[in-house]
Structure 1
Amino acid sequence: MTHTRRTLITVLVALLFGALFTATPAAAEERSRVHEGTIDGADYLVKVPKRWNGTLVLYSHGLYVEEWGKPEQIMLATRPETESWLLDQGYALAASNYKGVYGHAIEEALTDQIALLDWFEAKVGKPRRTITSGMSMGAVISLKLAENNPGRFDGVLTQCGEYDANGTWNSALDMLFALKTLLAPDADIDLVRPRDPQGAQAALEAVVAEAQKTEAGRARIALAGALGTVPGWALAHEPEPTDPADRLAQQALWVTGAYVYGYGPSARPEIEHRAGGNPSSNAGIDYRRQLARSSGLDLVRHAYRAGGVDLEADLDRLAAAPRISADPKAQAYMHRYMVARGTTPSPVLTAHTTGDGGAIAGQARWYGDQVRRNGDPGLLRQTYVSRGGHCSFNAAEEIVLLRTLLSRVDSGHWPSTDPRRLTAAATALGPAYRLVRELFDPQGKEKEMAPLFTRFTPPAHPRPSR
């Protein structure tokens, strides 16, 4: 892979998981007391308005990868405009960068965020109400903070959540397994427990890059994406594509920019070291059946017809390929720290963009199922925004979500979450709160995008942990 392409993918993944963040305007800083420090090795940032309204929002950020370096500042909201608005309205904000900062530091975050909450209550004051909020990986952290500490949090807001991170790793293995089996069956590429992570990564990336040059190769990339129900919409600044060729191209952006890189051999050592072995398995998985249930089936059929490739023959090859087994100890670690239980000790509001291929919207559907089994469905509301991209919310949408959750906390009843009402409320905040970052732009270009909540039923999570 060329240096330019690798740099582009690195930036895309950084944007994908929320590592690039614009600093809060100085005016908001002047109206707040800022506390910075370290608790047991974890850096933290706290901002308390001079006229604090008694509410604390404890924010959990997404995944950071070491090669990106540390962000300019600790994130206190998904959008910087949201942070400024909250401070202006009297909300206190706090966040830990987690011990070690990088990787799937969920275990550390669950300790470090509570330690910060304890510090806040001792040094600043006990909040009248405490909200835990998070995006991407931070969403499951926020949920598990509430699940593990009933009574400490009055509400939970999650955005673009990966509620079953273990299931995501299994789904990623499905996609990479299909790519390797169909594009380079004889290549020496370790998808798990890699002996040479960087070498295996380079080989896999080269195989996929070559496949993108032909219709047949693009068809097989589409099949891989469909196994993970990856949508054919990636670009936040463009409407959802209707032409199959455009949908295939945008789905391929997800497969190559998020999964080949973000879950490939070079990403394996971090998660396997943390979990104590390989947590991922495709033993017993019937890929023909998985494709038949996928929302991407029709797109795959179109791609295979265009490429003149025999879909049934490729599914036979996948069926015959030797499977990969997980280490039970590693699976247990993932279930303990990276899978939400759905117990809802306090009200939960989730938000997802419909074109999210980084944390598929099926994750939200899966979480709703867990709440119906293990919690109180009356404490859950789930919302969707019609937009491509991962975590591509504008501040207006984030603010309205927070206001909706706070209304539920204060009144004991959910206000209307009808998409038209939410869209109108977000629109009323004005154009200053409508910027959306384009994930798949190397410079992270931003554009004003109108708020657009919508009714949506996500496809099922293809590889749920339970």
Structure 2
Amino acid sequence: MKTSLRLRVVAWAATALVAACGGGGGGRPEPEKPAPVVPEETRAQDSKTYTPANPAATTFAAMAGVVVGTDRWAGVLNGASYQVEVPAAWNGKLVMYAHGYAGEVPTLNVAPPSIRRYLIENGYAWAASSYSKNSYDVRAGVEDTNALALAFNNIASANGRALPTPSRLYITGHSMGGHITGAAIEEETYATARNKVRYHGAVPMCGVMGDTDLFNRFAGMQVTAQALAGVPSYPFNKWSEIQGLVTNTLFAVFNNTNIVPTAQGVKYLSVVENLTGGDRPLFDQGVLFGQSFQSAYGLFGSDGTVFGILNKNILDTNAWTYVIDGDVPGSAALNASVLKLTAAPDANRLRRDGLRWIPAINGDFKVPVVSIHTLGDLFVPFSMQQVYQQRAAAKGNSGLLVQRAIRGASHCDFTNAEQVQAFVDMVAWAEGGPKPAGDDVVTPATVAAPTYGCAFTNNTLGPDDVGTAASVLRPAIANALPGVCPP
């Protein structure tokens, strides 16, 4: 009886072992068949064709008024135009510059850094890519900027100048380029990018530091405009059918240079202020003459794919509680009636073929960051800095982040002096100096103070400010708010 049971157990174990090893054939396991490769889906963005504006260029013009000798090389790398400038007395450090959104046009153009004069006069080399794609393609921006950084020495050698590997590598950028800058230093980016680069520090300026959160705020602006204009449930993607009604209900005047709200529009602008960073200086000037709100308003009616960068809707407004200052019943009625949008959960998922289609900024970085943002910006609003601080804090990285509020009235309307100072302070910190000073961007009472932003605003206009938005808007701000900041 016992022997019979033992034989059955042994037989069962042998059968189980053979099954576990893949079947018969003398007990030898059959090789596992590889899982079928599922190709990543394509998008509307993938079918668009982009062409460098001047693919035959091998150099570009020297900067006027700069006596420092430089080598200047231009070319095309992986479908993206590039420019590289290296001073004769190079200090061994390379700065990568990421430009902002260039629209939906098919032509690719390179933009040099706004602090180009400072960089070359102080021995820094810089390089900038057009990216291989336009539109809001941050993925292309990160990959092409990184690829150019990795190709720097080969480009120099091909042009007859052998250089050592850069001793320090920094990155800076404006607007969408701020998103690229922030994403480029993220741990998720380093883990998933095809072109992997470790930067030593970063200066994102007026950046989309909340990644897709920006588009949710645009959506919030639209659904509240609809609700306060009396058409709360009208389909979100049919904005063009009600735009005239909504605009005429909320504004007595609305054009590219002037906005005059109606009584209902005053309530709406209160909602917009709270959605874009809360009570703060320069919001009113941003609306009245900053002209960036018009840009945000012009993006209403999106299908949620961010110009075809995604295949599914990314827009989600479920997190918002809208506030009309001083009107508790009105706020309650607005929140009860407003249209709610919900994103497809996998719209911007991790991918097997590299970065997310819209790379994430999780606050998970290991290098010093000095970020600057204008208070009157309503296109990429100041709330992006608040989101960035919250995400960095959640990752335990507040100690690596310095943020500065600048008293500008529009999008990216910094003076050159403000940008240079942010870069100088970041480099000194990254190279062993103390953490520089910054602003508290998340305490409402601090942000609402009339003098908020004075500490790091520098209204001095230099030669590189000629013709910029700052050259026009800073005098307008001084006239509107005389004597607020100490001289």
**What TM-score, normalized to structure 2?**
0.67
Instruction: Return the alpha-carbon distance in structure 1 between the equivalents of residues 92 and 147 of structure 2.
Output: 19
Instruction: Return the alpha-carbon distance in structure 2 between the equivalents of residues 25 and 206 of structure 1.
Output: 49
Displacement after TM superposition at 1:315 (Å) = 4.2
Match in the other structure for 1:464? none
Q: Looking at both structures, which has the greater relative contact order when contacts are Cα pairs under 8 Å and sequence separation is at least 6?
A: 1
Displacement after TM superposition at 1:119 (Å) = 0.9
Displacement after TM superposition at 1:90 (Å) = 1.6
Q: 2:316 aligns with which of 265, 268, 281?
A: 281
Bigger helix fraction: 1
The DSSP-based 3-state class of the residue aligned with 2:423 is helix
Match in the other structure for 2:12? none
Match in the other structure for 1:49? 87
Q: Residues 172, 32 of structure 1: CA spacing in aligned structure 2 closer, same or farther, 3 A cutoff?
A: same
CA deviation profile, 1:189-208 (whole Å, cap 9, x unmatched): x434x6xxxxx437425631
What are the equivalent positions in structure 2 for 1:70-109 lying under 5 Å apart? 74-77=110-113, 79=114, 82-101=115-134, 103-109=135-141
Residue range with higher mean Cα deviation, 389-398 or 403-412:
403-412
Instruction: Return the alpha-carbon distance in structure 2 between the equivalents of residues 286 and 378 of structure 1.
Output: 28
Q: Residues 418, 107 of structure 1: CA spacing in aligned structure 2 closer, same or farther, 3 A cutoff?
A: closer
The DSSP-based 3-state class of the residue aligned with 2:385 is helix
Whether the 8 Å contact between 1:231 and 1:251 is mirrored in structure 2 is no
Displacement after TM superposition at 1:66 (Å) = 2.5
Match in the other structure for 2:215? 169
CA deviation profile, 1:174-228 (whole Å, cap 9, x unmatched): 110111233251896x434x6xxxxx43742563145312733423432441452
Question: Given the alignment of the two structures, is residue 179 of structure 1 paired with residue 212 of structure 2, yes or no?
Answer: no
Instruction: Return the alpha-carbon distance in structure 1 between the equivalents of residues 183 and 364 of structure 2.
Output: 9
What are the equivalent positions in structure 2 for 1:4-403 lying under 5 Å apart? 25-28=63-66, 31-66=69-104, 74-77=110-113, 79=114, 82-101=115-134, 103-124=135-156, 125=163, 126-147=165-186, 148-149=189-190, 152-185=198-231, 190-192=235-237, 200-201=239-240, 203-204=242-243, 207-209=246-248, 211-213=250-252, 215-229=262-276, 240=282, 249-250=287-288, 253-255=291-293, 257-261=294-298, 263-265=299-301, 268=303, 271=306, 273-283=308-318, 285=319, 287=321, 290-291=322-323, 297-298=325-326, 301=327, 312=329, 315-316=332-333, 318-332=335-349, 337-403=358-424
Displacement after TM superposition at 1:381 (Å) = 1.8
Number of equivalent positions: 384
Instruction: Return the alpha-carbon distance in structure 2 between the equivalents of residues 392 and 428 of structure 1.
Output: 11
Displacement after TM superposition at 1:347 (Å) = 1.2
Whether the 8 Å contact between 1:33 and 1:47 is mirrored in structure 2 is yes
Displacement after TM superposition at 1:169 (Å) = 0.9
Segments of 5+ residues of structure 2 without an aligned counterpart are 1-60, 157-162, 191-195, 253-260, 441-450, 479-484
The DSSP-based 3-state class of the residue aligned with 2:295 is helix
Q: Residues 424, 33 of structure 1: CA spacing in aligned structure 2 closer, same or farther, 3 A cutoff?
A: farther
Q: Which amino acid aligns with 1:183?
A: A
The alignment's C-alpha RMSD in Å is 4.0
Whether the 8 Å contact between 1:24 and 1:84 is mirrored in structure 2 is no
Instruction: Return the alpha-carbon distance in structure 2 between the equivalents of residues 215 and 427 of structure 1.
Output: 35
CA deviation profile, 1:385-413 (whole Å, cap 9, x unmatched): 22322211111111111111111122253
Whether the 8 Å contact between 1:164 and 1:338 is mirrored in structure 2 is no
Displacement after TM superposition at 1:416 (Å) = 5.3
Q: Residues 435, 272 of structure 1: CA spacing in aligned structure 2 closer, same or farther, 3 A cutoff?
A: closer
Q: Residues 240, 329 of structure 1: CA spacing in aligned structure 2 closer, same or farther, 3 A cutoff?
A: closer
Question: Given the alignment of the two structures, is residue 438 of structure 1 paired with residue 479 of structure 2, yes or no?
Answer: no
Q: Residues 139, 186 of structure 1: CA spacing in aligned structure 2 closer, same or farther, 3 A cutoff?
A: closer
Instruction: Return the alpha-carbon distance in structure 2 between the equivalents of residues 358 and 94 of structure 1.
Output: 27
Instruction: Return the alpha-carbon distance in structure 1 between the equivalents of residues 473 and 219 of structure 2.
Output: 32
CA deviation profile, 1:132-189 (whole Å, cap 9, x unmatched): 111111112112212233862111111112111211111111110111233251896x
The DSSP-based 3-state class of the residue aligned with 2:349 is helix
**What TM-score, normalized to structure 1?**
0.70
Whether the 8 Å contact between 1:431 and 1:448 is mirrored in structure 2 is no
Displacement after TM superposition at 1:128 (Å) = 1.2
Q: Residues 161, 418 of structure 1: CA spacing in aligned structure 2 closer, same or farther, 3 A cutoff?
A: closer
Larger Rg: 2
Q: Which amino acid aligns with 1:259?
A: A
Q: Residues 320, 116 of structure 1: CA spacing in aligned structure 2 closer, same or farther, 3 A cutoff?
A: same
